[in-house]
Structure 1
Amino acid sequence: MGSILGWTSPAQLPLKNGTEYFYVTDAEFALIGGLASIGAMVGSLVTGPISDMIGRRTTMISLIVPCVVGWAIIIWAQNVRMMLAGRFILGLAVGSTTVVCPLYTTEIAEVDVRGTLGTYFQLQVTLGILYAYIFGAAVSVYWLSVACFIIPFIFCFMMIWVPESPQYYLKKNNKQEASKSLQWLRGKNYEITGEITAMVNDIDQMRENKVSFLKAFTSTAAKKGLIIGLGIMFFQQFSGINAVVFYSSRIFSDAGSTLDPNICTLIVGAVMFVATFVSSLVIDRLGRKPLLLVSIIVMAIAAAVLGGFFYMKNNEDISQISWLPIICMCVFIILFSLGFGPIPWMFMGEIFPAEIKGPAVSIASLFNWLCVFIITSAFSAVVDGIGIDYTFWIFTVLSAIGAVFVFLLVPETKGKTLDEIQRELGGGSSNSKQNKSDLETGGSSSKY
């Protein structure tokens, strides 16, 4: 996923200059970048139900098909239409990845390391982006595409040896395979009897109190989960992160920097990867909510300072502080990568009741990619219309609203089972009479 997202930055100048493949106009390249987001919307919409039918692991392995087809079309593209088709197909794989990988990770993780494993999703995305940036700075767009084409085969080969989620097996009434899967995941000397028994009891309880799918969406826990899920996805994107990442070269240029565009993108990619790695080390110690709050508050400050810099630049000579935007962008990216980068994706597997988890994660992922499309498509036009200073001040205001949203509505999930999280959101308890009453109106008792 990261290599697909990162490809556009190093490919932009060679394609727009016509030095490789064929000449691409600004409008055509904007469409090449945007079509991946549109494909991701489609992919995220259908993946939840598909993964519920055929399994998380099988769904992940099947993603090799759109990846290979998409990259092959781009590698041998003869015109813009072929490149657009390739990017759309790759977008399908990206959207599917954002749904099925967090689901699988949450279902296989022990409570004590669920946060750490959840951040590995974003960590690998940033590694893929950095991979594309490094190859893009060293080789042609053709060979960059070939380098990205190789990754799906490595992923498919590694996933062959990994078992299906034990929760998925239990939902399909296959306790024997569920036990084998959990034993593989926990280690051959680990005693899994208690954990399997708890899983079976929770799934039996869920079936005993089963309600219609639509009614499950109207439960208190489901509604709160959707508000939280869609909210943090909105603020993740409207904090301005993709504007900063995708248009880093333009921001550096407008600030008066003489850095080579490839160096700019490498700085951005390296900072994102290192900061996300740090987040993976501390998330299960510091908690989700504190990291989200600190993340978005500092991002708001960094965006405000960036806006102030560009405002002053329009009115006076500030060449003596031309280094300030680079510092602000690095701070912005570091704090995003510590909190609002990895945590929203990890939350997707934690906050939704089991009855609606697949579709609900799909909805949240679809909404995220819609926000990505809006931001990346509108950023240049907004900057041209009102100025880059006011654009960053808009991000500041939205981030401040996001901080209030996190403080008031987002629960802390560190160290809690998924059943405890659902009870906190109003989904009832599997051990209480109230739980059955809540389920009759759409609540959830599931630990998964």
Structure 2
Amino acid sequence: MDQEDYEPLLDPDRHTRESPQNIYLKKVQNKNLYLATFAAVLGPLSFGFVLGYSSPAIADLKNADDPRLVLDKNAASWFGSIVTIGAAVGGVFGGWIVDRIGRKLSLMLCAVPFVLGFTLIISAQNVWMLFGGRFLNGLASGVTSLVVPVYISETSHSGVRGTLGSCVQLMVVTGILGSYIAGMILEWRWLAVFCSVPPIFMLILMCFMPETPRYLINQDKFSEALSALRFLRGPEADHEWEYRQIESSGDDQESSLRIAELRNPSIYKPFLIGIFLMVFQQFTGINAIMFYADTIFEEANFKNSSLASVIVGVIQVVFTAVAALIMDKAGRKVLLIISGITMAISATLFGVYFKITEIPVNNASRLLLPPTDLPPSPVDHLAWLALASMCLFITGFALGWGPIPWLVMSEIFPLRARGIASGVCVVTNWGCAFLVTKEFHDLMDYLTSYGTYWLFAGFCVLNVLFTVFYVPETKGKTLEQIERYFQQSQVPGTVGSFPNSVQ
């Protein structure tokens, strides 16, 4: 089909003009795109297994037969948190390699530290080998959390990019749930064997998947880019038309980002939006809420903490799947706003619960006292409020602030800045995760338990305000249209919505 065939056509029944983009998308076949996405999201699935592994493994290792492998309270804390340090390092490393060796090879490379990390854990003879394995797992997770959203966004088209991008978070929480369930059956070494399977399959499948067309065009590999588009869009689509759209947006681009360009609004505006999305995601207090999930369930008469973790995982998976299904219909901003409001309400209710019950804090350990050490409370019947608040909070997070920051990060950066900017965002996210997790006990000490959760509620309100005023809606827009939006947003009167020229 020639270029002129893509001029907006007049539909006599609807008396509306159909855009060239919609005409093109009608002939696109998504079968191979879904296959490429499945191969890529085995990385986030592996990431989820890493995050979920610590909960059942720590329970086993606290009572390990080998005294060299026994985890005390401090070692258990590091066993869980060292993953965030490795992930931050992985964010830096991933931001460097993703623009040098490509999205596909970077993703395949992730499988190596995943498997090596679990192999080190399986063969561990002391605690330091366990820490080393977890660090390698974190390193792979950091690279994965950067590369997979970029790979999916650059291989997808605007009609399904939101749904497929949300599959990243869906697979993470699926991996967490899988670890919890498998941990109820398998001993920690066999659980590590089980967790090492997804990255092996990812490595095998990615061998048969294409590099992203945008990266290939940026590297002047034009025939390979057309071949990738044929694979991803099917034989009926006009691959040359999409090729020209991508190529035209990159005509004036350098192959790499220069420091001086950070003063350009088309660079620093999406860069700041991406950073603040990552900061606000972690300052919702999601890790703190999850940290005390078992205690809250026990207060609500759920005595089996493993079952409690599975219930939490099921809630995450179900509502993350709901978000993925409605992402390209409801839009990113609407879901972020609904998510932020929901979390603000639930965190406020958490604070109310802790204020009423006045759960004491052990100042020596800076931990909530376990339920068995608490004095009899006349308001035990309010345990349902804590349970409902936690479920509501997780639901809200899964609908918006869980998957969308990663999705938007992969959409808003121009091609030449995507690797570096995404790397900074990943480092910011994991750095904030480590900070919130480590400082949570101090906050509980200084602000009291209810004050801490009301602080999180305040951050959730800030999330909503930030979304309303600064986050653009990217639903239905190509990556090239999003890039032109930021280029034109420096012109007075165009901030806040996509200019008509890129609708």
CA distance in 1 between counterparts of 2:478 and 2:66 reads: 52
The residue correspondences of 1:354-373 to structure 2 (distance < 5 A) are 354-373=415-434
Please say which of residues 90-99 and 385-394 is displaced more in the overlay: 385-394
Match of 2:208, SS state, is coil
Could you say if the C-alpha distance between residues 81 and 55 of structure 1 is closer, same or farther in structure 2, counting changes exceeding 3 Å?
Answer: same
Which residue of 133, 147, 153 corresponds with 1:86? 133
CA distance in 2 between counterparts of 1:2 and 1:79 reads: 25
Q: Is the CA contact 2:300–2:387 (under 8 Å) kept in the aligned structure 1? A: no
The aligned amino acid for 1:352 is F
Which residue of 398, 405, 416 corresponds with 1:344? 405
Match of 1:53, SS state, is coil
Which residue of 157, 161, 172 corresponds with 1:110? 157
Q: Is the CA contact 2:300–2:384 (under 8 Å) kept in the aligned structure 1? A: no
Q: Is the CA contact 2:341–2:460 (under 8 Å) kept in the aligned structure 1? A: yes
Q: CA deviation at 1:13?
A: 2.0
CA distance in 2 between counterparts of 1:113 and 1:212 reads: 29
1:140 and 2:184 correspond: no
- In structure 1, the partner of 2:288 is 243
CA distance in 1 between counterparts of 2:108 and 2:270 reads: 28
Q: CA deviation at 1:201?
A: 2.0
The aligned amino acid for 1:354 is L
The aligned amino acid for 2:131 is L
Which residue of 186, 203, 211 corresponds with 1:156? 203
Q: Is the CA contact 1:14–1:20 (under 8 Å) kept in the aligned structure 2? A: no
CA distance in 2 between counterparts of 1:364 and 1:105 reads: 17
TM-score, structure 2 normalization: 0.81
CA distance in 2 between counterparts of 1:311 and 1:159 reads: 51
The residue correspondences of 1:202-213 to structure 2 (distance < 5 A) are 202-207=249-254, 213=258
Q: Which structure would you say has the larger Rg?
A: 2
Could you say if the C-alpha distance between residues 212 and 107 of structure 1 is closer, same or farther in structure 2, counting changes exceeding 3 Å?
Answer: closer
Match of 2:211, SS state, is coil
The residue correspondences of 1:1-400 to structure 2 (distance < 5 A) are 1-18=47-64, 22-207=69-254, 213-253=258-298, 255=299, 257-314=301-358, 317-400=378-461
1:38-92 deviation per Cα after TM superposition (whole angstroms, max 9, x unaligned): 0101111121221111110111111111011100111111111111111111111
The aligned amino acid for 1:326 is L
Q: CA deviation at 1:222?
A: 1.6
The aligned amino acid for 2:61 is L
1:214-258 deviation per Cα after TM superposition (whole angstroms, max 9, x unaligned): 1222211221112211111111111011222233113334x4534
**Aligned pairs, number:** 428
Structure 1, unpaired ranges of 5+? 435-446
Q: CA deviation at 1:384?
A: 4.5
Q: Is the CA contact 1:279–1:338 (under 8 Å) kept in the aligned structure 2? A: yes
The aligned amino acid for 1:297 is I
Could you say if the C-alpha distance between residues 243 and 212 of structure 1 is closer, same or farther in structure 2, counting changes exceeding 3 Å?
Answer: closer
Q: Aligned residues: percent identity? A: 37
CA distance in 1 between counterparts of 2:257 and 2:123 reads: 48
Quick one: higher RCO (CA 8 Å, sep 6+), 1 or 2? 1
Please say which of residues 281-290 and 139-148 is displaced more in the overlay: 139-148
Structure 2, unpaired ranges of 5+? 1-46, 360-376, 492-501
Which residue of 467, 470, 474 corresponds with 1:413? 474
Structure having the larger proportion of residues in helix: 1
CA distance in 2 between counterparts of 1:162 and 1:305 reads: 47
1:157-205 deviation per Cα after TM superposition (whole angstroms, max 9, x unaligned): 1212211111111111111111111110111232211011222222223
C-alpha RMSD of matched pairs (Å) = 2.0
1:81-105 deviation per Cα after TM superposition (whole angstroms, max 9, x unaligned): 1111111111110000011101111
The aligned amino acid for 1:35 is I
CA distance in 1 between counterparts of 2:257 and 2:125 reads: 50
CA distance in 1 between counterparts of 2:455 and 2:257 reads: 42
Q: CA deviation at 1:19?
A: 5.7
